[in-house]
Amino acid sequence: MRIIAGIYRSRVLKRVESDKTRETRDMIKEAIFNHIGPYFSDEVVLDLFCGSGSLGIEALSRGAKQCYFNDASKEATNVVNENMRILDIKSSGIVTNQDFLSFLLATSQVFDIIFLDPPYSLDVTDEIIEVISKRKLLSNHGIIILLTGKLTLLKDEIFDIIKYKEKTKGITKISYWKRG
């Protein structure tokens, strides 16, 4: 697993060695960052189900100001900390080890970009977006990037957050959301 572009381009990241963590493949990252690339200039990012942190670290590599990494797995957050240490970016990242709901209910930070890559078997999309909406955790110009299994049916709107684009790559559906 590597960083695709930016100041850490081609650097290799450590992986979480667990059956419970699904790695975000390069073709998925490329599709995401080809779409949101123009949005990077000092954004605050959330990588909620961060795994090894590859999406958040890619965002930092491309100019994001700060990234919050959260995962319920201690093994995953240890790998994120190690990847940030290797790249010498500890000051740009905040790593927490909580379940997604505890994190969302505890934070008061407003995010410009939110990566949601929950386990495909976890049916929590509506709940997550509802909490983000009600707690006003997405900035007015912010976007949510949601990764789900390709057969997952998604609503077009959840409270004041609307899905504006959807694309399937392999077994993954990528959907993009913003305030309505």
- pLDDT at position 24: 73
Q: What is the mean pLDDT of residues 6-18?
A: 90
Q: What is the mean pLDDT of residues 7-25?
A: 81
Question: Is the distance from CB of 132 to CB of 138 less than 8 angstroms?
Answer: yes
Q: Is the pLDDT of residue 2 over 80?
A: yes
Has residue 97 been placed in a domain?
Answer: yes
Q: Give me the number of domains the chain comprises.
A: 1
Has residue 116 been placed in a domain?
Answer: yes
Q: Is the pLDDT of residue 38 over 70?
A: no
Has residue 156 been placed in a domain?
Answer: yes
Please report, for the domain that includes residue 158, its CATH number.
3.40.50.150
Q: What is the mean pLDDT of residues 116-132?
A: 93
- pLDDT at position 1: 83
Has residue 144 been placed in a domain?
Answer: yes
Structural domain span for residue 113:
26-179
Has residue 20 been placed in a domain?
Answer: no
The backbone torsions φ and ψ at residue 33, rounded to the nearest 5 degrees and listed phi first, read -75, -20
Has residue 98 been placed in a domain?
Answer: yes
Question: Is the distance from CB of 45 to CB of 114 less than 8 angstroms?
Answer: yes
Q: Is the pLDDT of residue 41 over 90?
A: no
Has residue 77 been placed in a domain?
Answer: yes
Has residue 18 been placed in a domain?
Answer: no
